[in-house]
Amino acid sequence: MENDLIKSLKKLLGLMLGLSFVIVIMIGALVLVNINPDFLPKSEVIGSADLAEVNMQEGDLVKDGIHMSTGLVAEEGYETVIANCTNCHAADLIIQNRGSKERWMALIDWMQETQGLWDLGSNEEIIVNYLSEYYAPIQRGRRPNLVDIEWYELKE
């Protein structure tokens, strides 16, 4: 009985010494990297700037002509719209509206008078041109004529 207890204590002591050795090695490695960050190869070190660049690239992804993170049409001027408009409201608010140049200019004037929108300067023309081009009113007329219809006779 006492021999089993002694053997168990020896195993426990050996395990604790092994873990202590591993912990000392890990602390030494952390201290070494902290003192000399160039100790690790550059490809293994990922800093916050690298992560920000990766996130920025994912956020700027354009697929099938649509800016994926905003849903805006990715054509000339959309970056200016994102930079000036989505600071205060979601791009969905733009996408769900349509208007002519006059309508978009009136909305901008309203936002400047009542919502605290800053003077857009030369960006206003870029923004209005973009919005009136890609978010213009939809012309609706009669539905198109039916084609390729297979007519059938009603049976009584």
| Mean pLDDT of the chain, nearest integer | 87
The torsion angles phi and psi of 67, rounded to 5 degrees, stand at -70, 115
pLDDT for 52 equals 44
- Please answer whether residues 45 and 53 qualify as being in contact, where contact means their C-beta atoms are separated by less than 8 angstroms: no
Q: What is the pLDDT of residues 33-88, one digit of tens each?
A: 888 777 776 654 444 444 445 444 566 899 999 999 999 999 999 999 999 999 99
pTM over 0.75: no
DSSP state of 119: P
DSSP labels for 68-136? TTT--B-STTHHHHHHHHTTTS-HHHHHT----HHHHHHHHHHHHHHS-PPP-TTHHHHHHHHHHHHSP
- Please answer whether residues 74 and 64 qualify as being in contact, where contact means their C-beta atoms are separated by less than 8 angstroms: no
Q: What is the pLDDT of residues 127-143, one digit of tens each?
A: 999 999 999 998 878 88
Give the mean pLDDT of 99-112: 96
Q: Is 144's pLDDT higher than 70?
A: yes
pLDDT for 145 equals 86
